[in-house]
Amino acid sequence: MNLEQHTMIMGIINLTPDSFSGDGLLKSMDPESAAVAQAKIFIAAGAEILDVGGESTRPGAMQVDQEEELRRVVPAIKAMREAGIGAIISVDTYKSRVAQAALEAGANWINDVWGLRADPELAKVAANWNVPIILMHNRSNPANSEIREHLGGRYKEMVYQDLIEDIKNDLLESISMAKAGGVKDENIILDPGLGFGKTVEQNLILLNRLNEICDLGYPVLLGPSRKSFIGYTLNLPPDDRLAGTAAAVILGVVRGAKIIRVHDVPFMVRVARMTDAIINSCAH
């Protein structure tokens, strides 16, 4: 897994009816065909990874049971492979059984928004398949969430003793759990969890100090796309956060992120490539 050459773009394939960003494909008459069509658009635009998810993780979202999540993601992954899509497919799930079925259907990576804290058995699945697993930092608690009609959900009054050190320590615990389950060091990717259990100000601080997360020595994935910290900072709804997302992507790449997870793939591919070109020009 060579992530040193350029920033990789991960396109979001959202198979939910209640996405905060309004891009859920489950509302389509034919979700599998819609997923294939979106995947082809993303790949043509330059995405190298497709992240397929069947459960919304926005603040206040309803949990989806295992059987429903399987019904949403597995047929879509199969359809994408049958359509000849050869990009990396990541399954966005924290459930070991869903991950197992997704890998059998053709997925290559696991993206766990709970960093193995929701289902430690997920580590064994990743180890048995010898696939990369993304471990995200997450202290989300519905009791600390607030939803505004115009701006969506955000977290308030999230207490950290030392924001960056606490995030690092939590991620190190997830890494230990992964290794205890047999995951190889080279298959671990970290996600600091922008928007998950962090206030608007805490998200801004985390983004600005992302290099300290990168210093842990693992590739870092960043997911700023259309997040509420952008909306609350700029007072804009999810469908008007392109510029704010671009700013976050640029700084994320400058601070060391190797993978960027986004909705607006064509635009953000260009943003990342331009940022890479500027950074790499300083290396010669």
Query: Please, how many CA atoms are within 13 Å of residue 121, restricted to the half-sphere of its CB?
Result: 7
Pick from 95, 28, 92: which is nearest to 56 by CA? 92
Q: Which letter does DSSP use for residue 31 in this model?
A: H
Q: What does the angle CA 259 – CA 225 – CA 164 come to, to the nearest 5 degrees?
A: 70
Task: Look at residues 39, 52, 36 and name the one whose alpha carbon lies nearest to residue 108.
Answer: 52
The separation between the first and the last C-alpha atoms of the chain, rounded to the nearest angstrom, is 24
Contact (CB, 8 A) for 191 and 222: yes
Residues whose CB falls within 8 Å of the CB of residue 265, separated by 6 or more in sequence, listed in order: 9, 11, 41, 42, 45, 46, 47
CB 36 within 8 A of CB 45: no
Categorise residue 182: left if φ over 0, alpha if ψ from -120 to 50, beta otherwise: left
Residues identified as active-site: 227, 261
> 88-123 burial string, b = 16+ CB within 10 Å, else e?
bbbbbbbbbbbbbbbbebbbbbbbbbbbbbebeebb
Q: How many residues are recorded in the chain?
A: 284
Alpha carbon distance 167, 164 (integer Å): 5
